[in-house]
Amino acid sequence: MADDAFADLVREAGATCVVVRVSVGRAAALKRHPALTDAVEALASRHSASRLPPARALVISTVTASFFQRPRIPFAVRFDAPAALNRPGWPGAWQRAIEPRALARARVLLPWSAEAAEPLSGLGPPVVPLGVPIERVPGAPSRDIEALAYAGNPHKRGLEKLVAAWSESGLAGRLVVGGIETAAGREWLARHGVPEPAGLEWAGIVPRSEWLGLLSRARLYVNASRFEDHGIAPLEALSAGAALVSLPTPGPYPALRMARVLAPELVSSDLVGALRAGAALDLSGYAERADALLAPHRVEALRRTMAESVLPALGL
């Protein structure tokens, strides 16, 4: 989605663009540890670069993909979060060590947000935040879902913390969890000793249009993630007018700053209290204020950035 959206922005600015996918192949079986996974993907990206058509400039769409490449044409690196933030501890040691040198070779750096740009000062190339367009999601006439959450990676998304907090909050209504099938979600809760509460519904893995429909019907969107690389779903929830209830999740997470501006009581390490505050929140005016904060993430703003800053930096 992110790569296709970027390609559309390039074309709308009057340039041509070809997306070349990275093929990992049989080496995918080695992706069992973060340090090795990044090495496999970096090598696969270098190999896939041999299939590039003639071009005047190149955009590499992750930090990892840039590690072992030395393009002979101007290039940019685009990413949701740098390794300095999302590769902590010894499993990310080699990635953090190589990242500054790899990024310094780029003509321009394109983090998805201003938050992801903060650790990049002093590397040399200009930094131009350019995110994934967040479309406007009309709210439904009736918000019949009290709370919605995404748990595509249950560990990263803190599924057990979210459900436990919901149970303790005593809130009535429906908690709908998407991104994970029913059996997998129940197995995760059982493994962590968290009973499945009444009112919990498993939406499973649904088409994007159906997911946006769920967002439009939700009063609250709940984020209990342990780390957030960017957070498209919370941004889309704000776009749909759902109030964002969140832990103070680390990472370059632009929706967190917006949530604190819109209703600071909904951002807390006490997720139970934040849920209760969200249930009591008057939503009148919330969607309009959220829309104003989302302006830098709308396609209109990103088109201007592409035409006025990104393409000129690449000599196009």
Whole-model pTM over 0.85: yes
Predicted confidence at residue 218, as pLDDT, reads: 97
Sign of the torsion angle spanned by Cα atoms 241, 245, 247, 248 = positive
The total of other beta-carbon atoms located within 10 Å of residue 121's CB is 7
Asked if residue 23 has pLDDT above 80, the reply is no
- Give residue 220's pLDDT band: very low, low, confident or very high (50, 70, 90): very high
How far apart are the C-alpha atoms of 225 and 150, rounded to whole Å? 9
User: Which stretch of DSSP H or E encloses residue 312?
Assistant: helix 311-313
Cα Rg, the chain, nearest whole Å:
20
pLDDT confidence bin for 182, thresholds 50/70/90: very high
How many whole angstroms separate alpha carbon 194 and alpha carbon 154? 13
Helix H or strand E segment including 79 = strand 75-79
Residue 34 scores a pLDDT above 80: no
pLDDT at 15: 95
pLDDT digits (tens, 9 = 90+) for 116-170: 998 887 778 999 999 999 999 999 989 999 999 999 999 999 999 999 999 999 9
Between 302 and 89, whose confidence is greater?
Answer: 302
Evaluate whether 286 touches 241 at the Cβ level (below 8 Å).
yes
Q: Is 148 exposed, middle or buried (0-12, 13-18, 19+ CB in 10 A)?
A: buried
CA pair distance 264, 164, nearest whole angstrom: 22
Q: How confident is the model at residue 250 (pLDDT cuts 50, 70, 90)?
A: very high
Tell me the one-letter amino acid at 237: A
3-class DSSP state of 178 = strand
Is the torsion defined by CA of 271, 167, 161, 259 positive or negative? Answer: negative
Beta-strand runs (E) in 80-162? 108-111, 145-150
Q: Which long-range contacts (CB under 8 A, 24 or more apart) does 188-195 make?
A: 188/154, 188/159, 188/160, 189/159, 189/160, 189/163, 192/160, 194/160, 194/163, 194/164, 194/167, 195/167
pLDDT for the residue 41:
83
Show the domains of the chain with their CATH numbers: 2-133+298-313 (no CATH), 145-296 (3.40.50.2000)
- pLDDT reading at 262 higher than 90: yes
Which helix (H) or strand (E) element contains residue 220? Answer: strand 218-223
Task: Indicate the SS3 state at residue 145.
Answer: strand
Nearest to residue 208, comparing CAs of 167, 150, 130?
150
In the prediction, which pLDDT does 29 show?
A: 65
φ, ψ of residue 153 to 5 degrees: the values are -120, 100
Contact indicator for 225, 247 with CB cutoff of 8 Å: yes
